[in-house]
Structure 1
Amino acid sequence: MQPHESSVHYSKWDDSSRDEVSMAAVSSTEEASCGRRVAQKLCSGKLGIAMKVLGGVALFWVTFILGYVTGYYVHKCK
């Protein structure tokens, strides 16, 4: 495993009193491009919308089931 390198870019805006500093971690090109391609594929377009909808539905059902089970044991008659 290679150590991650970081780069710092500093630019001062001429027309404003604000300064801009950005830092970016640089890893190997193959890892970054592969991860970026997967994220781009899963988070954009029709597939991205479908993934977000399925994630929301799954989160709803997990929350619903946890609430149901918790409510059952909290309000269980003795």
Structure 2
Amino acid sequence: MQTQQSGVQYSRWDDSSRDEVHVAAVSSTEEASSWARISRKLCSGKLGIALKVLGGVALFWAVFILGYVTGYYVHKCK
């Protein structure tokens, strides 16, 4: 069993009212850090927004096609 440590780093800016908190999970394997890096890159920023929009459009069309095919067979004339 691998141990996993978590650390919280808190820093307060003196010139502003914004607080900054960093939470990091430290694992003994490199796989976890590479997965976190890939996840962070794909889920944030412009690339993350683009992937979410494309996923939403793909989900819309999948549900639309499924509904169309289902409706065709349900309402087909005999």
Bucket of the pairwise TM-score, normalised by the shorter protein: 0.5 to 0.7
Q: 2:66 maps to which residue?
A: 66
Tell me the CA shift for residue 29 of structure 1.
Answer: 2.8
CA–CA distance in 2 between the matches of 1:50 and 1:61?
A: 17
Q: 2:29 maps to which residue?
A: 29
TM-score w.r.t. the length of structure 1 is 0.66
Structure 1's unaligned 5+ residue stretches are 8-24
Q: What is the aligned-residue identity percentage?
A: 76
Matched, 1:45 2:20: no
TM-score w.r.t. the length of structure 2 is 0.66
The number of aligned residues is 59
> Aligned-pair RMSD on alpha carbons?
2.0
Helix, strand or coil for the counterpart of 2:68? helix
